[in-house]
């Protein structure tokens, strides 16, 4: 009897123990499933909700780094900036920025047709830099950048990259060849990053144009708009077909040469994204207006009523076209004004007003920092080796743009 009772107690204890273990196991499975469900629900957020909920309000460009090239080959340090480390991203995050655009030029690392195989070491380096941004707590954008670079001097057009509107519009063979390479390159990029979460966004290309920077005759450029509309559809289809998290990844669609007036025009068409029931697309423009003040540095004053009215009208048109009623976020993927000695206060006023107006209209401005401080287009703000503002004036500019954008939070 004693043995029987003891055995019964042991059996009861065993049953209770297994019941508890099974309960914990199923409870764990339910928790895991709930977490997965929650993650899946997170990916179902539309792009505007994502920007608002994640507080993506102001950003910074890692310019002239992974996008730098020489003699047709992308080389990280060839334009004078140091090799990228995590320090720069830690500094950018600490300054109040929420997103970084990491321009990437792929040429020189792409094999021959028909596979157009991207060099694995280069992909790994891009992934390493993206990892720096993510570890710092930043959202990240990668793109195809100077692969579409073109220069024009008089009537002489020089193609620096393979992603050429001119090649595509001149012949059927050219169109098919460029489109095939574009599709293959994006398929490989998307496949490589397929398991990366929502924080990583893809941008189709940079400032594609025929050499006239978007200011040529509309009759001449109209066929090019149609090519770009086709290519952005190819881009979306390639990414969505690459598996993993790419089906719901947020994708960025630039207008012709990223010029605002072309992006709000009727000939700009957003691609279809049939795999998603909510919007996962983002529109991109660039803003360096007026050119003489922002890039050339030949104009020293800014801030008249006309200057401000131009900003207001441009940003209002973008907001009305995409955000109001459509809930499509708009990023100003590049923006800035070069340093001009003796006119630091005017530059500061420019950023306070332009970034403030962008934020007011719901646009997300991303500053173009090319790391230049003493020659050329001096857009530099951060010392990339230290990850800190380059100077007190740089610090003031950084603080002004972050504060103008709600302190780095969505309004």
**Beta carbons of 384 and 371 less than 8 angstroms apart:** yes
Residues annotated as catalytic are 207, 334
Is residue 30 predicted with pLDDT exceeding 50? Answer: no
Residue 410: pLDDT band (50, 70, 90) is: low
For 75-128, write each residue's pLDDT tens digit.
Answer: 999 999 999 999 999 999 999 999 999 999 999 999 999 999 999 999 999 999
Q: How far apart are the first and last CA of the chain?
A: 76
How far apart, in whole angstroms, are the C-alpha atoms of residue 253 and residue 270? 7
- Three-state secondary structure call for residue 209: coil
Amino acid 218: pLDDT: 73
What pTM did the predictor assign? 0.88
For 315-371, write each residue's pLDDT tens digit.
Answer: 999 999 999 989 999 999 999 999 999 999 999 999 999 999 999 999 999 999 999
Residue 219: pLDDT band (50, 70, 90) is: low
Residue 18: pLDDT band (50, 70, 90) is: very low
Q: Please state whether the peptide bond connecting residue 290 to the residue before it is cis, i.e. omega within 30 degrees of 0.
A: yes
For 234-262, write each residue's pLDDT tens digit.
Answer: 999 999 999 999 999 999 999 999 999 99
How far apart, in whole angstroms, are the C-alpha atoms of residue 347 and residue 340? 8
What the block records as the tokens of 136 is 């710092």
């Amino acid at each position: 009897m004693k043995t029987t009772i003891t055995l019964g107690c042991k059996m009861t204890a065993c049953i209770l123990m297994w019941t508890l273990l099974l309960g914990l196991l199923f409870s764990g499975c339910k928790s895991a499933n709930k977490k997965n469900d929650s993650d899946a629900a997170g990916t179902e957020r539309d792009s505007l909700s994502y920007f608002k909920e994640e507080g993506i309000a102001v950003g910074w460009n890692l310019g002239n780094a992974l996008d730098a090239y020489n003699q047709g080959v992308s080389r990280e340090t060839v334009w004078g900036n140091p090799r990228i480390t995590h320090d720069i991203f830690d500094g950018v995050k600490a300054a109040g920025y929420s997103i970084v655009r990491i321009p990437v030029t792929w040429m020189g690392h792409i094999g021959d047709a028909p596979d157009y195989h991207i060099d694995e070491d280069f992909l790994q380096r891009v992934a390493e830099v993206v990892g720096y941004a993510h570890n710092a707590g930043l959202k990240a954008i990668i793109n195809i950048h100077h692969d579409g670079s073109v220069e024009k001097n008089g009537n002489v057009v020089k193609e620096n990259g393979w992603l050429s509107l001119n090649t595509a519009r001149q012949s059927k063979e050219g169109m098919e060849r460029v489109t095939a390479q574009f599709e293959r390159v994006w398929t490989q990029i998307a496949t490589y990053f397929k398991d990366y979460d929502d924080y990583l966004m893809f941008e189709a290309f940079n400032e594609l144009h025929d050499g006239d920077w978007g200011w040529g005759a509309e009759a001449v450029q109209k066929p090019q708009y149609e090519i770009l509309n086709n290519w952005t559809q190819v881009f979306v289809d390639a990414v969505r077909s690459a598996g993993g998290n790419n089906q719901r990844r947020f994708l960025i669609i630039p207008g012709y040469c990223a010029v605002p007036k072309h992006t709000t025009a009727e000939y700009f068409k957003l691609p279809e994204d049939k795999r998603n029931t909510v919007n996962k697309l983002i529109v991109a423009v660039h803003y360096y207006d007026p050119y003489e003040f922002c890039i050339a540095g030949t104009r020293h004053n800014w801030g008249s009523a006309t200057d401000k009215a131009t900003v207001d009208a441009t940003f209002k048109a973008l907001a009305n076209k995409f955000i109001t009623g459509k809930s499509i976020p708009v990023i100003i993927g590049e923006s800035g004004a070069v340093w001009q000695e003796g006119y630091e206060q005017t530059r500061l006023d420019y950023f306070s007003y332009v970034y403030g107006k962008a934020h007011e209209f719901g646009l997300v401005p991303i500053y173009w920092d090319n790391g230049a401080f003493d020659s050329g287009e001096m857009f530099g703000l951060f010392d990339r080796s230290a990850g800190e503002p380059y100077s007190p004036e740089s610090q003031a500019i950084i603080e002004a743009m972050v504060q103008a954008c709600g302190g780095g939070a969505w309004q």
